[in-house]
Amino acid sequence: MAELKYRSPKGVHDILPGDNQYMTYIKKAVRHRARQAGYKRIDPPIFEERALYERGIGEHTDIVEKELFGVGRKGADEQLDYALRPEFTAGICRSYIQHGMAELPQPVELYSIGPCFRYDRPQKGRYRQFHQFDFEVLGLSDPSIDAQLIQVAWKILGDLSIQDRLRLQINNIGAAEDRKAFVDALREYFAGKERNLPEIDRKRVASNPLRLLDSKEEDTQILVKMAPKLSQFVSKESQKYHSDLLEYLTELGIPFTSNEGLVRGLDYYNQTVFEFWDSSTGAQNAVGGGGRFDYLMEQLGGKHTPAVGFAMGMERVMWHMQEAGVEAPFKDQVDVFVAQLGPEAKKKCLRLVSDLRDLGIHTVGALGEASLKSQMRLADRFQARYCILMGQMEVKEGTAILRDMHAGKQKQIKFEKAIPEVIKLIGKQNLDTYSIKDKLGDFRDPGEG
RNA sequence: GCGAUCGUAGCUCAGUGGUUAGAGCAUCCGGUUGUGGUCCGGAGGGUCGUGGGUUCGAUCCCCAUCGGUCGCCCCA
């Protein structure tokens, strides 16, 4: 580390091959579940006008106030100020409006996977660049939609074998007016009691009273017990909406904890809010969460469009998988290692390696000048299943040596037989073949690009 | 943004106010003529995070800074 000239910036990390195994596994599960449920992929840009995030997420949220990652410059040819996306929802909604998706059959179901950025002090599970996957159902409001959305998240967690490590926390924060009335009431309630509050919570009375509900301070919790309850402000309709949702979740077999104190930090939520918390500690250590945001579209200049969505942090999901000892499948194993000696052999092997690869055999070759011993050591380190050796003699005789590394046995065969022999050993069904043409031929839906 | 803690080879870590800073693992090369995983031998690799200060002298003491880790805030 000593005299490194460059290193990755604070809070951002290389995703090395080991972790990438998990990341691709997670992405695969996400895409699979998305396809099953009819979600289409959308990739909003990685940066947008700063104002979009400010308006969309809320100007008094932490994300906007201190975590937006600014880019570009306000200047001569660019009048606009940009920021890296801190999450997906604002960008996806902007896209929905911009491309007139209101004209598509509703609801429009979209998902996305990719990096997000927040300028924050890094710590466990919190990085300046991190990855989310995100699902949104735009254009319809119904408790059954919320339940289905949550189910998608739940199924993905199941695919990744971490369902039992997480617990769904769920709440209903009512319509925007209900919430506002409640916030006012909370402020009023705490107005005379500030002196009994710890420093942090005193500030929250002014900035974000809802936060007081899940404060970790004991003094605050005592006061909260006597404070007005959100449920007193939530309309009958909202209560019905919520009880329906809970029924549906039960019907779907998704365990949950009703959490009256659950309030999400982003301004745009109304009605349903939920998060997946660590079930062992029970602490608010969310791997993901979401909720309903029926008024965001119009705030961004679109027409009224009810919507619901969730996002999960891939690094946090990965952390849980690793903690739980879940292994990400490993498909990068080396089938054949090609070792060679002498210029003639090298030439033949060059071609051989290429042919093996085209046939779907994971092949690595040492085409340098290293000794056979070194090459075999390499083969061993790659944990290659088979080894093909070619030297001057084999070239002259038109043969090759095929060695089974596990068994430690080898035999001399005709050069032309090398490839068919290897395929027989590996098994046709295990070949890693992929043809873009074939895949295109399978497409049933010409609408998807 | 606040607080705490750490920073010695690729990794995990020893070590000392004073001549050429160590180990294990890893890497590379060998162990008779063209063969692996064990074993044996050897080699490469660190200006002890960076900058300043104290000192005759600092990797070890002090300050700052950068970075890691963890908590708070907040969230993914």
State how far the Cα of A311 lies from the Cα of A201, in Å rounded to an integer. 28
Question: Average pLDDT in the A34-41 region?
Answer: 97
Protein-proximal positions, strand B, CB < 7 A = 1-3, 7-11, 27-31, 34-37, 46-50, 66-76
In this structure, the number of other CB atoms found within 10 A of the CB of residue A206 comes to: 10
pLDDT in tens, A311-321: 999 999 999 99
Is the pLDDT score of A169 beyond 90?
A: yes
Please return the burial class of A208, using the count of CB atoms within 10 Å of its CB with bins 0-12, 13-18 and 19+. middle
Tokens of A52: 């979009």
What is the enclosing helix (H) or strand (E) of A412?
Answer: strand A409-414
Buried b (16+ CB within 10 A) or exposed e, A223-242: bbeebeebeebbeeebeebb
- With both helix axes pointing from N to C terminus, report the angle between A199-207 and A176-191 in degrees, rounded to the nearest 10: 140
Nearest to A324 by CA among A167, A169, A168, A164: A164
Distance of CA A3 to the CA centre of its chain: 34
Exposure string for A420-447, b = 16+ CB within 10 A, e = fewer: ebbbeebeeeeeeeeeeeeeeeeeeeee
How sure is the predictor about A448, in pLDDT bands with cuts at 50, 70 and 90? Answer: very low
User: A6: how many CB neighbours lie within 10 A of its CB?
Assistant: 5
How many CA atoms lie within 13 Å of A151's alpha carbon, on the beta-carbon side?
A: 16
Vertex A416: Cα angle to A355 and A425 (nearest 5): 75
- In this prediction, residue A443 carries a pLDDT of 45
Q: Output the distance from A159 CA to B63 C1' rounded to whole Å.
A: 53
A131 nearest nt, CA–C1': B76
- Give the confidence band of A207 by pLDDT, cuts at 50, 70, 90: confident
User: Which nucleotide is the nearest neighbour of A264, by CA and C1'?
Assistant: B75
CA closest to B49 C1', residue: A2
Nucleotide nearest to A276 (CA to C1'): B76
CA of A4 to C1' of B61 (A): 26
Choose between A30 and A270: higher pLDDT: A30
Q: What is the mean pLDDT of residues A285-293?
A: 91
Rg (CA), chain A: 28
Closest CA to A230 of A297, A281, A185, A278: A185
**A275 neighbors A266 (Cβ within 8 angstroms):** no
pLDDT in tens, A139-157: 999 999 999 999 999 999 9
Nearest nt (C1') from A374 Cα: B36
Task: Give the tens place of pLDDT for each residue, A361-412.
Answer: 999 988 888 899 999 999 999 999 999 999 999 999 999 999 999 999 999 9
pTM assigned to the model: 0.89
Q: How far is the CA of A170 from the C1' of B25 (A)?
A: 48
Phi then psi dihedrals of residue A284, to 5 deg = -80, 75
Nearest nt (C1') from A13 Cα = B68
Q: CA of A225 and C1' of B70: distance in angstroms?
A: 31
Distance A149 CA to B7 C1' (A): 45
Burial string for A263-292 (b: 16+ CB within 10 Å, else e) reads bbebbbbbbbbbbbbbbeeeeebbbbbbbb
